[in-house]
Amino acid sequence: MIPFRKTALAATIGGTLLACTLPAQAADVSNAELLRLVRQQAEQIQQLEARLAAVEAQAHGAATAGAAAPGADAPAAQAASTQAQIDAAIADTQQTQLDALQAQLAQLAAGGVSGGGNVRWTDGGPEFRSADGFFSFHPRGRVLLDFSHTDGSAYAARNISGTEARDLRLGAEGSMGALDYKIDVDFSDQATSVKDAWIAYDTRLLGIPATFTLGNRLKDRSIDGSGTLSRQPFMERNAVASVGQGVNGYYGVGGFVKLYGDGWHLGASITGDDLDNTGTDSDSIMYAVRAHWNPLKGAQGFVHVGSWYWYEKLADDVTSINNTPRIGQDFNDNLRVSASSIASPTQDEAYGYELGGVWRSFWTFGEYTKRTIDSASTDVSERVATSVSAGWLLTGEKPGFSRRSGIWAGTKVLNPVTSGGWGAWELAARFDRYDFRDLPKGGNGRGSTIGVNWYLNDWSRLMFDYVDWSTDNRVGDYKGPDSGQSIGVRAQVVW
């Protein structure tokens, strides 16, 4: 019986040493090595089970032979005792090795390992990353659902209510080393259009961090105009972003470069029309530059100073310019500030200034722009817009404003509703002025907005905007002084 006991003892000692050493090794080895160890231990268990099965068969044969011989009660009892020891050793060894394997598998699951990579949840969605961090892939999307109501206008057609999907997007972003990429497809307004579609390269230029981008993306122009709508503190961009845009809009296909420093950035771009261009005529070409600087910065906040300029050489298919920006919510197409249409434009340009800052949970920003349009049929004309805004996060969060790029970014919620907290609450106010009176038949308008934002967590929020507006149009269906109020409600999720 001594060989049986030696076999069981060796298995027990081996299993115990295995249980002690594998967790220590798992902390130091790579994910691929952990997977190899798991497979190796599975093979060892199978081998051990085969050996123990042979031992059990031998012990069972000895016990049967002893029982058949006269006076074999004592050997049978000894065989039964030995069998009990073997069974106990088998159970203990198997359980020990299974515990070690389960611990390794738990480590793999915690790291999100599958095939040598990992998965983590960031910005409301999964990010897939290779084991060495070289590759990453993050699905993107957003849902912005709006309700709008307007009342008080002297024109019944302006007093309308309705719902719309302000923004519905699906896409992805990722990286391959220093190469980044992003693509977003928008499905709102019962149409499909590509928004962001670009590749970028992160490097250093004269020792300064720099990003070079090719593709279709938001142009670097004003605070609100340079950032995504889903990060703005109001449901719609301000007057400066709307009036100060060129013929080819917020997006354009071309080349972009940005240099970044501690509290400053400098960006430049050359772009044509966006991806919706039909290809039957040449693009209008825009040359743009923008810079911002934080002359004062500290733990409690910073001061923001910025400026931008663009020049646009218009293509032959641009036969007129008639910018009529909305003054309420996006749903109401009748609520606009009219400008006199300019025929045969040849070129246009615009510049703008930015001033503001953040202090603790407070923020305030002011912007100004002037757009000048040259035409073969009339004198040079100007369009002017001004916007001043301020806000306060009542629950103590820091305003979601990026010092790196000088645009609105995400707000980090201290106590998310999804974790049992109150979320983040923000009060905001804005004044917008539209002045097109330099044109022969240009109108003017103003809007005062009060907003309440409830951030449920870092990627979802509810918004309420109240806009008191007035217009004085000289052309169109709604001429003369008019005023009223608009209410907007939005539910959004961004990942």
Q: Taking the model in full, what pTM does it have? A: 0.77
Q: Which residues pair with 143 in a beta bridge?
A: 168, 493
The whole-number pLDDT of residue 34 equals 52
Residue among 63, 49, 66 nearest 15 (CA) = 49
Element (H, E) at 292: strand 285-293
Which pair of tokens denotes residue 48? Answer: 């051990």
- Summarize the chain as % helix, strand, coil (round to 5): 25, 45, 30
Count Cβ atoms below 10 Å from residue 457 Cβ, excluding itself.
Answer: 19
SS3 49: helix
Identity of the amino acid at 308: W
Query: Counting Cβ atoms within 10 Å, is residue 236 exposed (0-12), middle (13-18) or buried (19+)?
Result: buried
Tokens 């002893």 — which residue? 66
In this prediction, residue 29 carries a pLDDT of 42
Of 9, 12, 33, nearest to 22 by C-alpha is: 33
Looking at the DSSP assignment, which residues form a beta bridge with residue 333?
Answer: none
- Contact present, 412 and 396 (Cβ < 8 Å): no
CA 354 – CA 435 distance, rounded (Å): 18
Query: With 0-12 CB in 10 A as exposed, 13-18 as middle and 19+ as buried, what is 205?
Result: exposed
Question: CATH classification of 136-494, choosing from 2.40.160.10, 3.40.50.300, 1.10.2020.10, 3.40.30.10?
Answer: 2.40.160.10
**pLDDT tens, N- to C-terminus, the chain (495 residues):** 444 343 443 444 344 434 433 343 433 444 555 556 556 665 666 665 566 566 556 655 555 554 444 444 555 556 566 666 656 655 565 565 556 555 555 554 444 444 456 898 888 889 999 988 999 999 999 999 999 999 999 999 999 999 999 999 999 999 999 999 999 999 988 889 999 999 999 999 999 999 999 999 999 999 999 999 999 999 999 999 999 999 989 999 999 999 999 999 999 999 999 887 777 788 999 999 999 999 999 999 999 999 999 999 999 889 999 889 999 899 999 999 998 889 999 999 999 999 999 999 999 999 999 999 999 888 889 999 999 999 999 999 999 999 999 999 999 999 999 999 999 999 999 999 999 998 888 999 999 999 999 999 999 999 999 999 999 999 999 999 999 999 999 999 999
Nearest residue to 217 via CA among 247, 194, 197, 237: 197
- pLDDT for residue 40: 65
State the pLDDT at residue 229.
95
Q: What is the rounded end-to-end Cα distance, in angstroms, of the chain?
A: 67
Helix (H, G, I), strand (E, B) or coil at 136: strand
**Contact criterion met (CB below 8 Å) for 427 and 392:** yes
